[in-house]
Amino acid sequence: MSKKRGKKPSRQKDKPDEKKVARITIVIFSVLVVGILLVSLFYLSPNKNILKDPGFEENSSEWVYLHWSPVWESFTISTSQSRSGAQSAFLRLRGDETSQDSKIVGVVQDIYPDQMPRKLKGYYYVQNWVKGADLQYIQCAIMAFDVPGYADAPLQIRYILSGIDSEPFYLDNAKYIFISGDQPSQAEWVCFERGLLDDFRHSWGFIPEFSMMRVVFEVRYDGIPFTDCAADIYFDDVYLGS
């Protein structure tokens, strides 16, 4: 009798505890599921831009130019034109009578993604375009460094955004893709968009592994200009991501 009396109260105590444990388990499970979904959405988001300061609004030190190259000149940040926000990257190209080689004005960012980004997108705006050299063009180059089998130079795709309709020169480590061979439209924002991963696969026959990726937006001429040449180019809202 004393044993039966002793068991009943213990069963009555267990039932609320089991319900409490079950509720806590459900809550923890739900929190975990929601957390995993949120993390997945963040990392798999189609709009995850891996470029820093893609709208040139933060004056980020991530944007640089190739200062070590004698043919390069720097971009500046401008408030004269912007597709979004108040600023853009401004590339001012002018002819140089002393030029014996290329002249490039550009803006560059080095990034370290785990894999080849799927999509490249951006906008550029052209003013004061005076073609003063056969090879005067606007270009976006994507360079993959330390690709196995290509240790000497980065494997590249060079997107000709506008200005020329044939390859300016041959490079062992670069493939050209022409987005527009026409002379550039002026005084309007022009969008360019490509499947970067597919372009590497189709152009090179494989998707390269790499240690670093360099993204270059530039305006340039190659060779000696035959007359004064000029171009004011703005880039804004550039995108590289999934």
Binding footprint of Ca ion on the chain (CB under 5 A)? 55-56, 82, 84-85, 87, 236
Q: How far apart are CA 138 and CA 140, in angstroms?
A: 7
For Ca ion, give the closer residue by CB, 2 or 61: 61
For Ca ion, give the closer residue by CB, 78 or 156: 78
The nearest distance, CB 126 to Ca ion, in angstroms, is 16
The nearest distance, CB 242 to Ca ion, in angstroms, is 22
The nearest distance, CB 78 to Ca ion, in angstroms, is 10
Q: How far apart are CA 168 and CA 176, in angstroms?
A: 9
Sheet holding 72-74, edge to edge: 72-74, 103-111, 212-222, 135-145, 155-162, 174-178
The nearest distance, CB 232 to Ca ion, in angstroms, is 16
DSSP SS3 for 140: strand
For Ca ion, give the closer residue by CB, 91 or 144: 91
For Ca ion, give the closer residue by CB, 232 or 236: 236
Closest CA to 144 of 107, 115, 106: 115
